[in-house]
Structure 1
Amino acid sequence: MTGWHAPDDLVTRYADGSLPETDAWSLEKHLETCGPCAARVSHAARAGAAGVVLAEVRDAVLHTVGEPAPTIARASAPTTARVPASGCASAVPRGARAVRGRLGRIVWAAGPALRGAWAGAVVLVAVGAVALAYGGEWAGARPLLLAVAPVVPVAGVALSYGRHADPLHEIVTASPSGGLRLLLMRTSAVLAVSLPLLTVAGLLLPPSGSRLPAAPAAATWLLPGLALTLASLVLSGYVGCRTATALVGGGWLLALAAPVLTATGPGLTARLTRQLSLYFTGASPQGAWAAAAALCALLLAARRSAYDRLETM
């Protein structure tokens, strides 16, 4: 409930389709939280030219729902065939239906990445690093995990938003809750899964050993991962989500692999550990990552309208 209510002329113009598109979006956003205005808009729509069509659609839906179940369905489930159609919904407690509806909205908002194979891939990376460290007794498990961890949430963003990832992308983006708001919600869900899981996996890994330099701490990748994720969101407003995440993720891996492969030293793992220490360890690198994350957040706020255009995402 809000303190402002839509004027009658605004409601009438919205119901007959003469309200400008931007004003209609603003009103639809208001209707999400204002019950009285939503009821007035519904009444105006039923009273207008579209009311007859809406009534016909409603009658058709009720007629279809009220039809008896097919004979084959009653034969396969005789104990439930005698239950009236009107009693099916009431058989489920109202609280349980509310919880299912809320969970459904949360799962939808979380995005395709958390409903698909990406979450399983994150678990596989974390468990695989621990298995390599303890089962395979490989001392380079922690450096490898720290090298890959910053691009894991970037990959999650790539699989969470955009026409290539979401079959309902056009509808979702055109809704009042679409655009940057939905993109940030799905990014938050990706970070909520990847950050704690990979950090805990890093804490479980043993030290590098006496033959290798000390690897950075398990949580030192958090600021770099956040900065890279925000950078991919900023770049998405220019080149699209998939291209932006590919550029950011590939740029990070190239910036890490190029010095390691071209440098000379005692072993690939030792060179990777030293390079990670340059990027992660100390106040200066962490301060630079924090500044980069803050700058990207400001750019997101300044260009928030760019994420409402389908052609850019």
Structure 2
Amino acid sequence: MTGWHAPDDLVTRYADGSLPETDAWSLEKHLESCGPCAARVSHAARAGAAGVVLAQVRDAVLHAVREPAPTTARASAPAPTRLPAPTRAAGGRLTRIVWAAGPALRGAWAGAVVLVAVGAAALAYGGGAAGARPLLLAVAPVVPVTGVALSYGRHADPLHEIVATSPSGGLRLLLMRTAAVLAVSLPLLTVAGLLLPPSGPHLPAAPAAATWLLPGLALTLASLVLSGYVGCRTATAVVGGGWLLALAAPVLTATGTGLTARLVQQLSLYFTGASPQAGWAAAAALCALLLAARRSAYDRLETM
């Protein structure tokens, strides 16, 4: 409940559909916490042109509910199979977990993560490539960013507009799906990095297999923050592309050593040591604070 209440003309224009969309969103947000205004809007809707249609729909629903089904149909219809209560509860909980995990984990993205890990191992042990671990460390930070892009938005979920505007939508849903993406990609790629052989004797020592975790987390949170301004797909493309550009540009423009050696040196500059890791940790914390401060910006993210 707030001290402000919607004026009568605002309520009337909302009920007849003439209120601009941005003002309608603001009013709807107010109605969530103001019972008197919600009752006035409901009364105005029933009294307007939509009231006739609503009354017809109500009568049709009540008629369908009260009308008894044909006896023969009831007799011939097989009785529904009822599962034991624990089975139904477990199935419902599993369904909710799978839904919350997001389209990325139900689609091809999880398979692509496995393919990256297996491909790196095949390149190292089957192809004899000494630079398999540096290549994996270079790609690993953008893998969860890509998973976020494939988990949230109109392109990812046919019911996105409905889900995003529900009480469980917005930032809460985005964070749940991001957590699911991180839960799959972080351990899998880290284990893959641990299993890869070290760099060859002619190459500098590559960063440790887990040094990409803080950078990956910081880049993922940065993409979430930017999503509040430009949308999820654009934000993840900017962040992921920016990382690849910042890594590839110095490697491709430098001279004097081999390409893999320059990649290892650039990764060491970004990953190895207390200062780079502290910088990534600070960036992740700052992004988390920005997410909390702008949480209302995600209430209708990508619902237009």
- Interval containing the TM-score (normalised by the shorter chain): 0.7 to 0.9
CA distance 1:9–1:102, change in 2 (3 Å):
farther
Preserved CA contact (<8 Å) 2:98 2:106: yes
Preserved CA contact (<8 Å) 2:114 2:188: yes
1:234 alignment counterpart: 225
Which structure 2 segments of 5+ residues have no match? none
- 4+ residue runs of structure 1 moved beyond 3 angstroms? 1-83, 310-313
Q: Report how far residue 188 of structure 1 moved.
A: 0.1
Instruction: Please identify, of 18-27 and 125-134, the stretch whose mean Cα deviation from structure 2 is larger.
Output: 18-27
Aligned-residue Cα RMSD (Å) equals 5.6
Partner Cα separation in structure 2 for residue 99 and residue 28 of structure 1: 36
Partner Cα separation in structure 2 for residue 284 and residue 224 of structure 1: 12
Partner Cα separation in structure 2 for residue 236 and residue 14 of structure 1: 29
Partner Cα separation in structure 2 for residue 105 and residue 250 of structure 1: 33
Preserved CA contact (<8 Å) 1:114 1:190: yes
Pairing 1:276–2:267 present: yes
Preserved CA contact (<8 Å) 2:149 2:233: yes
- What per-residue deviation string (whole Å, max 9, x for no partner) do you get for residues 83-137 of structure 1? 9xxxxxxxxx221111111000000011110011000000000011011111111
CA distance 1:243–1:102, change in 2 (3 Å):
same
Instruction: Please identify, of 12-21 and 248-257, the stretch whose mean Cα deviation from structure 2 is larger.
Output: 12-21
Q: Report how far residue 63 of structure 1 moved.
A: 12
Q: Report how far residue 266 of structure 1 moved.
A: 2.0
Partner Cα separation in structure 1 for residue 30 and residue 123 of structure 2: 53
Partner Cα separation in structure 2 for residue 30 and residue 101 of structure 1: 33
- What per-residue deviation string (whole Å, max 9, x for no partner) do you get for residues 52-96 of structure 1? 99999999999999999999999999999999xxxxxxxxx2211
Q: Report how far residue 210 of structure 1 moved.
A: 0.5
Q: TM-score, normalised by structure 2?
A: 0.76
Q: Report how far residue 50 of structure 1 moved.
A: 13
- What per-residue deviation string (whole Å, max 9, x for no partner) do you get for residues 172-205 of structure 1? 1110111000000000000000000000000000
Pairing 1:263–2:254 present: yes
Partner Cα separation in structure 2 for residue 312 and residue 263 of structure 1: 45
Preserved CA contact (<8 Å) 1:220 1:281: yes
Preserved CA contact (<8 Å) 1:29 1:176: no
The SS at the match of 1:312 is coil
Preserved CA contact (<8 Å) 1:238 1:312: no
Instruction: Please identify, of 279-288 and 41-50, the stretch whose mean Cα deviation from structure 2 is larger.
Output: 41-50
Aligned residues: 304
Q: TM-score, normalised by structure 1?
A: 0.74
Report matched runs for 1:3-42 at 5 Å: none
Percent identical among aligned pairs is 90
Partner Cα separation in structure 1 for residue 291 and residue 229 of structure 2: 11
Preserved CA contact (<8 Å) 1:213 1:273: yes
Which structure 1 segments of 5+ residues have no match? 84-92
Partner Cα separation in structure 2 for residue 243 and residue 49 of structure 1: 41
Preserved CA contact (<8 Å) 1:130 1:204: yes
Report matched runs for 1:48-127 at 5 Å: 93-127=84-118
Preserved CA contact (<8 Å) 1:74 1:80: no
